[in-house]
Amino acid sequence: MELPIYQVDAFTDKIFAGNPAAIVPLETWLPDETLQKIALENNLSETAFFVPNDTGFHLRWFTPTVEIDLCGHATLATSWVIFNELNYDKNSITFDSLSGKLTVTQKNNALTLDFPIWPYEQINIDPRITDALGAEPLELYKAPDWVAVYDDATIVQDMMPDMQKLSKIKECRGIIVTAKGTGDIDFVSRWFGPNEGIDEDPVTGSAHCVLSPYWATKLGKTSFKAKQVSARGGDLNCDLKGDRVFITGKATLFLKGIIYV
């Protein structure tokens, strides 16, 4: 069997930046074991698979080791492929997913994800977090990811976590570190997830489902210019509206080819 594959760099307008995702269009679902093996072979933070359905497409995301509930950059990358490579003639795409219906719209060469916000609650600072990250946060919050807040963007950017120690924290999907930004950047972040098969995700759209409502309370605003300060880096614009966050970014094609399975 031959399957098309695309690799798209998301949340950037140039290759070798942003977050690379592999995109595999399917006519019907393959066995989950096959999907997971393809994701492992690709060895990217996420491989997205989708099939057509009555309302649009059914979308699934796999890290090299597990299927996940929500992925922003791979949804952005999938949408770029549908809009630009598959002769799709609408300006909006509806996906069915493990996180419900997700909508992506295209305007002026940018793509906007309509995602749910994630509720969060403050918890006591866990000494394991301080030990693994190498710096004690000002605050710690619990959501699907844990959010460690710092008072200096440089701490976030320069952080060198101990992934072995982070992997022993099993209570959350991953660890977000964040701080107020400088200049025209409202806030910065990074995301670590060794338990998900990803030591560091270069740009994490889903993290902004909790970062956006958190920073809304701190900054007193609902529109943000955010930057993920990983080595590759990525740029996101986030707008809060009710219980949804609209995450806008760009994407660019790196490669396309064929998988033989």
* Domain limits, the chain: 2-116+247-260, 121-241
Separation of alpha carbons 252 and 236, rounded Å? 15
Give SS3 for 38: helix
Q: Which CATH number fits domain 121-241: 2.40.50.140, 2.40.160.20, 3.40.50.2300, 3.10.310.10?
A: 3.10.310.10
The yes/no answer on whether domain 2-116+247-260 falls in CATH 3.10.310.10 is yes
Query: Which residues make beta-bridge pairs with 193?
Result: 198
- By the 10 Å C-beta count (0-12 exposed, 13-18 middle, 19+ buried), 4 is classed as middle
pLDDT per residue as tens, the chain (261 positions): 999 999 999 999 999 999 999 999 999 999 999 999 999 999 999 999 999 999 999 999 999 999 999 999 999 999 999 999 998 999 999 999 999 999 999 998 899 999 999 999 999 999 999 999 999 999 999 999 999 999 999 999 999 999 999 999 999 999 999 999 999 999 999 999 998 889 999 999 999 999 999 999 999 999 999 999 999 999 999 999 999 999 999 999 999 999 999
Common-topology check for domains 2-116+247-260 and 121-241: yes
Q: Which residues are catalytic?
A: 46
Helix H, strand E, coil C: the string for 9-32 is EECCCCCCCCEEEEEEECCCCCCH
Rounded to 5 degrees, φ, ψ at 10 are: -105, 150
* Other residues' Cβ atoms within 10 Å of the Cβ of residue 201: 28
DSSP state of 48: E
33 with 44: CB under 8 angstroms?
no
Separation of alpha carbons 167 and 199, rounded Å? 9
